[in-house]
Amino acid sequence: MSDQVRTAIVTGSARGIGAAVAKRLAADGYGVAVVDLDEAACATTVDAITAAGGQAIGVGANVADEQSVVSAVERIATDFGKPTILVNNAGILRDNLLFKMSVDDWDAVLGVHLRGAFLMSREVQKHQVEEKWGRIVNLSSTSALGNRGQANYAAAKAGMQGFTKTLAIELGRYNVTVNAIAPGFIETEMTAATAERVGVPFEDFKKGAASQIPVNRVGQPEDIAHTASFFCSEGAGFVSGQVVYVAGGPKD
């Protein structure tokens, strides 16, 4: 790939919000490494990007595993281009009320979200510092403010905000910005699974959510992709350590 093209990594980008972000960054002119647990699952996003004239590569990695992350980032840097943009989007749900939540469910969610963001950021920052330019975008959530049945997810997403602000302080001197996006209700397979878990048809679930949102609709993955595009842009170089709630209305 051309040295003039910046390389972006988007984790959890085989589907949903991650896929939308990957496609948008490719449309913005970046080469995109589509990273997900199952490399074969990355093909749909990669094919969509290349069909639109963009540059992409699919990479399988477990973001919660140190060696897997080290190998994946090394492979991307060697075969595709030194990554200077990172979107930490990979995430899972293991919802349950506290008294029914297992240690495995707690560890799995904290592992993918927080440990994953830490490991990916630690590897990618080496290239950002070397290039004296970088962008890190972390996915938080309105659940960071508290959400019944999501003690693990809420703790992880609140942790992402503290992680974001700390990295912004540490990496700013190297011309690296670090920001977070906290989506509200976004229409994805993940929210469809939540509706199924609580026993509500997805269309009814969406209507109920939209009625509580000031703009009177649920969010789409592209809504998050637009915000990520801004944070990764040259023009956002003086915006760092921020958390933007993309939720169709104000959140505290």
Indicate the pLDDT class of residue 3, thresholds 50, 70 and 90: low
Q: Assess contact for 94 and 109: CB atoms under 8 A.
A: yes
Q: Which two tokens stand for residue 155?
A: 């703790």
| Least confident stretch, 19-28, 65-74, 195-204 | 195-204
Indicate the pLDDT class of residue 110, thresholds 50, 70 and 90: very high
Which residue carries 């690296």 as its tokens?
176
Check residue 146 and give left, alpha or beta (phi > 0: left; psi -120 to 50: alpha): left
Positive/negative CA dihedral, 49, 10, 252, 193: positive
Q: How far is CA 13 from CA 96, 173, 175, 216, in A?
A: 25, 29, 26, 27
CA pair distance 147, 184, nearest whole angstrom? 12
Q: Annotated catalytic residue: which of 30, 153, 174, 245?
A: 153
Indicate the pLDDT class of residue 164, thresholds 50, 70 and 90: very high
CA pair distance 87, 8, nearest whole angstrom? 8
Angle (CA) 70-74-75 rounded to 5° is 120
* pLDDT over 90 (residue 1): no
Which residue carries 């699919």 as its tokens?
58
Residue 36 backbone phi and psi in degrees, to 5 = -155, 165
Residue type (1 letter), 221: P
Mean pLDDT of all residues in 166-172: 98
* pLDDT over 70 (residue 31): yes
- Residue 30 designated active-site: no
pLDDT digits (tens, 9 = 90+) for 51-63: 999 999 999 999 9
Please list the residues that pair with 183 across neighbouring strands: 246
Share of the chain above pLDDT 70, in %: 99
Closest CA to 71 of 85, 81, 82, 59: 59
Q: Which helix (H) or strand (E) holds 17?
A: helix 16-27
User: What average pLDDT is seen over the chain?
Assistant: 97
Q: Assess contact for 185 and 219: CB atoms under 8 A.
A: yes
Mean pLDDT of all residues in 121-125: 98
